[in-house]
Amino acid sequence: MTMQTIIRKKPMKISLITLPILIVIYLAISMYFSNHFYYGSVINGINASYKTVEQVDKEMLTKSKTYTLDLKERNGVNEQIKATDIAFKYRGKDKIQALKEGQNPFMWIFAIFNLKASEIDGVVTYDDKLLKEQFDKLAVSDSKKTIEPQNASFKYSDNGYVILKEVKGNKVNSKQLYANVVNAIIKGETTIDLEKKNYYVNPKYTSTSQKVKDTKTLLNKYISSKITYSFAGGEEVLKGAIINNWLGVNKNLEITFDEEKMENYIKEIDDNYNTFGNQRNFATSLGTIVKVSGGDYGWLVDRTREVKDLIVDIKGGQTITKEPHYIQTAASHDTNDIGNTYVELNLTKQHLWFYKNGSLIVQGDVVTGDVSKNYATPAGVYVLQYKEKNATLKGEGYSTPVDVFMPFNGGIGIHDAIWRTKFGGKIYLTNGSHGCVNSPPILAKTIYENIDAKTPVVCY
C-alpha cells in the first residue's frame, strides 16, 4: 500500500465518524425545539426565541397588567391609554400553545432563514365602551382643543403680496386613529406615533407648493393694475392699495373678487359721474335761473357692468384711463349736462320752447295737467322716450286719437290737441289734461319733425 492510498482513505473514515455526530446534534436540537419556540420567534411584540409556552404565557400575563399604549402627538404632546382604564386582560395561553404546536421541531433549521413575527388575535380582551370613553377624553379627540389645518395664505404689503406659512394644526382623522388604537391594543403594541402614521389632517397647500407661488405671482399681477377714472374737474386713480381689499383666495387657491366691495367703490365715485335725477340750475328762456330736480334725465352709471369690466381690467394688470359704463348718458359732462338741444316747459307760464343746437325752433302756449283733479304735470328733467304718429291716447274713461305723440314721463307726453281752441293762461288749473302737454297742432308737429328720442325735456 502506497502512502498515496493511505492519504485517500483517511478523510473517508473521518466523514463516516462525523455524520452520525451531526445527526445526533440535529436530533438533540430538534428535541429542544419540541417545547421551545424557534430562534427569532416574535409573538404579538414579545420575543419568544428559545422560550417555552409557559415562559411566553407568563411574560404576556405580566405585560398585560402594566400595559400602556402611548400616543405621540404633535408639539411634544403625549397621551396614554392604560390597561386599568379599559379592563385590559390577557387570556391567550391556549393560542400560544397552538402556535407552538404548529412549529415542527425538526424544521428548526429552516426557521433560521425564515424569521417572521406572529400575530395572534384574541389573546387579550378589553371593554369596548371603556375604550371609547378613554379615546373621547384624549386631547386629540377634544374639538375645543382642535386647531384646524390652514393652507399657506397671502398678505398684502407695500411691496406686494407675501406668503404666510401654513398652519399644520392638530386635527386628526378620528375614525382612522381609533381603528389603529384598537388594532394596536389587540397586537400588544405600546406606541403609536401619529405623525409617522400620517393620522393628521394636513394642509393641502404649503408655502413651498408651486401652486401657492403661482397664486402669489398672479395676485401681484392684479395689484399692479392702474386704472384712472377721469371726470370733469379731476380724476380717481385705482391702484393696488385699493384693489387688494377686493381680492381673496379660496381653499383651491383660486383668486376671488368681492363684487359687493367693488360696487361700493363704484358707488363712491358715482358722484363724479352720475347726474341722474339731480337738482340742476337751469337758465330759463325768461332770463332767470331756476332749480329743477327730479325726473329721469342724466348720466347713470351701470355699476354691475362696470364691476365686471373692472375684473377683466385687473386680471389683465392693465394701466388705462377710462370712464365707467353707463345705463344712460346725457348730452355732456359739463355742469349743464342738458346741452343745447332740449324742450323747455314753464308750468306756471304754460309756455313751451324747443331749442335745437342752441337755436330756438319753435315756442308756444300749451295746457298741462289739471291741477284741480290732481293730474298736475310733474316738474323735473326727463328723457324723451320716443315719438309716434297717429297714436291713440287711452286712459280711464277716454280714448283719444292724436296726430303726433312724444312721451317723456311714463304715459305723459307732448301731443297735438285739436279739440282745444285756447292754450296757455290758467286753463290748466281747472280744465287741464290728464298730465300730458296739450299743444296747438302746428307747435306739436314742428317739434315732432325736429326732435329725436333721448332729447331732454325740462319741466319747471
Dihedral class, residue 154 (left if φ above 0, else alpha if ψ from -120 to 50, else beta): beta
Residue 408: the pLDDT is 98
Band of pLDDT at residue 41, cut at 50, 70 and 90: confident
Spatial distance between the Cα atoms of 102 and 329, rounded to a whole number of angstroms? 96
Instruction: Determine which one of 36, 415, 434, 459 is catalytic.
Output: 415
Cβ partners under 8 Å of residue 202, min gap 6? 149, 168
Angle between helices 128-137 and 174-187 (to 10 degrees): 130
Cβ partners under 8 Å of residue 232, min gap 6? 272, 333, 334, 335
Specify the pairing of strand 342-346 against strand 351-356: antiparallel
Percent of the chain with pLDDT over 90: 70
Angle between helices 93-101 and 53-65 (to 10 degrees): 150
Give one DSSP letter per residue of 148-217, joined into a string: --B--EEEEETTEEEEEPPB----B-HHHHHHHHHHHHHHT--EEETTTTT-B---S--TT-HHHHHHHH
Residue 61: the pLDDT is 85
415 counts as catalytic: yes
Residue 17: the pLDDT is 65
What pLDDT digit, counting tens, does each position of 341-399 carry? 999 999 999 999 999 999 999 999 999 999 999 999 999 999 999 999 999 999 888 89
339 to 156, 292, 334, 454, 455: CA distances (angstroms): 46, 15, 8, 12, 10
Contact 95, 120 (CB under 8 A): yes
Residue 352: the pLDDT is 98
Task: State the average pLDDT for the chain.
Answer: 91
- 211-278+295-328 against 342-459: fold identical: no
Residue 40: the pLDDT is 84
Q: Which residue has the higher pLDDT, 113 or 451?
A: 451
Fold classification of 211-278+295-328 is Ubiquitin-like (UB roll) (3.10.20)
Q: Which residue has the higher pLDDT, 48 or 263?
A: 263
Instruction: Determine which one of 36, 434, 436, 459 is catalytic.
Output: 436
436 counts as catalytic: yes
Give the type of residue at 343: V
Residue 112: the pLDDT is 78
Residue 11: the pLDDT is 54
Spatial distance between the Cα atoms of 255 and 261, rounded to a whole number of angstroms? 15
pTM above 0.75, yes or no: no
Mean pLDDT of the 276-288 span: 95
Q: Residue 222: is its pLDDT beyond 90? A: yes
Q: Which three cell numbers stand for residue 145?
A: 382643543
- Smallest Cα–Cα separation from 339: which of 380, 290, 280, 289? 280
Q: Residue 4: is its pLDDT beyond 70? A: no
Q: Which CATH superfamily is domain 342-459 in?
A: L,D-transpeptidase catalytic domain-like (2.40.440.10)
What pLDDT digit, counting tens, does each position of 88-129 carry? 988 878 888 888 888 888 888 887 777 777 777 778 889 999
Q: Residue 212: is its pLDDT beyond 70? A: yes
Give the type of residue at 85: D
Q: Which three cell numbers stand for residue 95?
A: 393560542
Band of pLDDT at residue 3, cut at 50, 70 and 90: very low
Specify the pairing of strand 398-409 against strand 388-395: antiparallel
Band of pLDDT at residue 10, cut at 50, 70 and 90: low
Q: How many residues does the chain have?
A: 460
Place of cell 375614525: 175
Spatial distance between the Cα atoms of 294 and 201, rounded to a whole number of angstroms? 61
Region of poorest pLDDT, from 92-106, 243-257, 299-313, 402-416: 92-106
Question: In the chain, what are the domain boundaries?
Answer: 211-278+295-328, 342-459
Q: Residue 14: is its pLDDT beyond 70? A: no
SS3 360: strand
What pLDDT digit, counting tens, does each position of 126-145 carry? 999 999 999 999 999 999 99
Mean pLDDT of the 155-181 span: 95
Residue 270: the pLDDT is 84
Q: Which residue has the higher pLDDT, 99 or 443?
A: 443
- Smallest Cα–Cα separation from 291: which of 299, 275, 279? 279
